[in-house]
Amino acid sequence: MLKKTRYALVGSGHRGTTMWGRDLVERWAGEVELVAICDLNTMRAERSSRYMGVSVPIYRDFDRLLAVEKPDLVIVCTKDSTHDGVIVKAMEAGANVISEKPMTTTADKIKRILDAERRTGKRLDVSFNYRFAPTAAKIKELLNSGVIGSVTSVDFHWYLNTSHGADYFRRWHAFTENSGSLFVHKATHHFDLLNWYLGSDPQTVSAFADLKHYGHKGPLRGERCRTCRHKHECDYYFDIGKDRLLESLYEDPSSVDGYVRDACVFREDIDIPDTMVANIHYKNGVDVAYSLNTYMPIEGHHIAFNGQKGRIEMRQYEAQPWTEPPADEILLMRNFDGVERIWVPHFSGGHYGGDDRLRNMLLKPGLNDELQQRAGSRAGAMSVLCGIAALKSSRTGVPVAISDVWGDDQGLHLLDSTP
């Protein structure tokens, strides 16, 4: 029998408690064993462990956890801007790491992580679950097959609806300091998909972005939904009491750290854009037109690869005001030769079925990774750098090279020798 990997969960919010908590305890028990939970808010960690049905030590002090529990693996599910601190300490203590996306939020933090990985020889995986969606795998196979010739441009548009999109504006994500903006927090998924699909690195980004709907642009505001006098008239009123897990993880524990799960989406001080477009030029010559909108009646994306010999196109939804067939359709068009309609069945599990496949790849030893879906620190870094460049371009009004974001001091060579 293989020895189980002893892991510690750091960050016991919704993502940690579900994706990397209860699911692993219940469905990956043959591979991993949860040995401790760490959270700055120990009341939330206690609620989390109760939900998981486990009885493991809870720590506020991560250094102590590392010294006492000596985990083989640390899974990082904290606020984005804190990932680097946890990752570096974990690797220095001899643990491998799985980090939730985005890997981190600034170029300096990326450098700290790459440096720690190099010094310690430990491995960092980044949870890019969308790569593992069966539709993404099919598109990657088609691109690899050369059926549309070399790709010259990509159209990629991502839509967040009034529920999921709004959720980012209720919490810490609404501030650049915490999330790097949605160009980093959310688009890290999309930029990573592009980098992986194209097998290349972004070189220059030119972007526009603005806050047009949430924050100070909203028609009315309060502090939080639960106490708001506008709850009967606001379209964005959100009752966390209707979700027992959210209520348990966030409501009472907010008395410890002031982190409320239903803060007003129209708070005056929100400083991230909600409407973003970017053009990205890749090293291999491909040009991408990208957009991200956050208050749509649909949740999903449209993507098309335009090649010298044809086009691959897909429209895929996670929520939409119509009934979708029980499969996603990929259109493969060869120039001068009609269309082939490829149907990929829907898979259960989050992120179009990507979450389960990702966890199998990271936790079950020896799985074949033909499509190179497993993503390490280099992929984590590249997608974050692309987001930082996009935000910078939108703020300065000029195109931004990735090498400028990275800084001239070290060039990009650090990244070049990172797996």
Ligand X SMILES: NC(=O)c1ccc[n+]([C@@H]2O[C@H](COP(=O)([O-])OP(=O)(O)OC[C@H]3O[C@@H](n4cnc5c(N)ncnc54)[C@H](O)[C@@H]3O)[C@@H](O)[C@H]2O)c1
How many angstroms from the chain centroid is the CA of residue 219? Answer: 30
Judged by CB, which is closer to ligand X: 184, or 389? 184
Q: Which of residues 350-389 bind ligand X (CB under 6 A)?
A: 351
**Measured from the CB atom, is 102 or 307 closer to ligand X?**
102
Q: State in angstroms the smallest separation of the CB of 258 from ligand X.
A: 11
Q: Which is nearer to ligand X, 39 or 262 (CB)?
A: 39
Pick the binder of ligand X from 33, 69, 80, 192 (CB under 6 A): 80
User: Of 10 and 151, which has the nearer Cβ to ligand X?
Assistant: 10
Picking from 306, 333, 302, the residue whose alpha carbon sits closest to that of residue 320 is: 302
Selected binder of ligand X within 84, 100, 192, 328 (CB under 6 A): 100
CB of residue 71 vs ligand X: minimum separation in angstroms? Answer: 14
Between 184 and 277, whose beta carbon lies closer to ligand X?
Answer: 184
In the complex, minimum distance from the CB of residue 78 to ligand X, in angstroms, rounded to a whole number: 4
Site for ligand X in 130-189 (CB under 6 A): 185
Name the minimum Å distance from CB 77 to ligand X: 4
Nearer to ligand X, 204 or 373 (CB): 373
Residue 12-51 contact track with ligand X, rule CB under 6 A, x = bound: xxxxx---------------------xxxx--x-------
| Per CB under 6 A, 129 contacts ligand X | yes
Which residue's CB is nearer to ligand X, number 129 or number 418?
129
Q: How far is the CB of 67 from ligand X (least distance, A)?
A: 16
d(C-alpha 187, C-alpha 292), whole Å: 8
Q: Which listed range, 77-85, 215-223, 394-402, 404-412, lies at the site for ligand X (CB under 6 A)?
A: 77-85
Which residues in this chain contact ligand X in the complex, by CB under 6 A? 10-16, 38-41, 44, 62, 77-80, 82, 100-101, 127, 129, 185, 351
